Structure 1
Amino acid sequence: MGKEIERKFLLASDAWRDEVERSERMVQGYLNDQGPVSVRARIAGSRAWLNIKSRTLGISRDEFEYDIPVADAERMLDHLTTGPVIDKTRHFVPRDGVLWEIDEFHGENDGLIVAEVELEHVDQPFAHPAWLGEEVSHDARYYNVSLVKNPYSQW
């Protein structure tokens, strides 16, 4: 079974930008956002995939990903999504043995920047860079599935 163990943080400064290894634009839309799971189609560069994630609140959730043709994902995003598409740039920042994924949102969520780190286990220690701010792992407002219905610009 796939398991995602992820912690989310706001940013205390823009100092992380000096450490970005690479960035990619990403769009995603939800095909199902009701019940115990969310199902989304994602496109980043020349890759597309379906992502199925449990909707439990917290840092450990079931997650499954399956590659699909980009043309299929584009059609799903155009015709099958339950709300607007999330548009963001994901910045990759390797730091102290972990990979930080920093999502800078666009459109209705412009101005929101969230740092995520995936861990091997729930209690795994990791360094907290000085640019890291408040942890929001348990705040559902920061989940992408929530940002579709309640965009950051409306907070």
Structure 2
Amino acid sequence: MSTPPVQYPVTWAPRRTRAVLLPVCALLVALFAVLAVLLPESWQLNDRIMMVMSGVLFAAVGLMLARPRVSADADGVTVINFVRTRRLAWAEIVRVNLRQGDPWATLDLADGTSLAAVGIQPGVGRNQAIADARALRDLVDHHAGH
């Protein structure tokens, strides 16, 4: 099997989602901090701190939503989803799926389980998601031949 023309590492991520969420997160923290300063004097220090912490909490949720990505290198694939990160050797991945209506790609694993690969999602561009899933599938097929 021939080597696919790829320069490792390769990363797939919903870039538009990140481009929107990261500035929004910064804006949330700044907005809640300004609100904490502008609160009436009847509000106590702990109320102001909680206002800032609320902004930080909302930003943390936004950062969690911006986290998903799939990275491939010569040794395997790292899948970073909302909360968990999983490192897979190439031999552990049997198939890459992205069916019509799926919210993201899934990886069928050698142990009989599946793993969501949220970094490849059609919600931000179906054609791009299909191309990304095919590129990952081609890499899986290539490494299965070794």
Q: Same fold (TM over 0.5)?
A: no
Structure of greater Rg:
2
Higher RCO, 1 vs 2 (CA within 8 Å, ≥6 residues apart): 1
Greater share of helix: 2
User: TM-score, structure 2 length as denominator?
Assistant: 0.25
Greater share of strand: 1
